[in-house]
Amino acid sequence: FGWTLDDFQWITVNSVKSAFAHFEDRLRIINEVVKPRYAALRTN
């Protein structure tokens, strides 16, 4: 499909934003889990 890592990160972040969890929990997951792991993928 020609999707990039940025595309997958965008989908992942939007999926977490739509999850049935409290706002603070969703924000923590995005900032402490999703973004750091995608950043690590970019350095490899």
Higher per-residue pLDDT: 42 or 44: 42
Give per-residue pLDDT as tens, 12-40: 999 999 999 999 999 999 999 999 999 99
CB 12 within 8 A of CB 38: yes
> Is a pLDDT exceeding 90 seen at residue 44?
no
5-26 burial: b if 16+ Cβ within 10 Å, else e: eeeebeebbeebeeeeeeeeeb
Task: Give Cβ neighbours of residue 8 (< 8 Å, ≥ 6 apart).
Answer: 38
Give the pLDDT score at 25. 98
Tokens encoding 15: 């999926």
Q: Which amino acid is at 44?
A: N
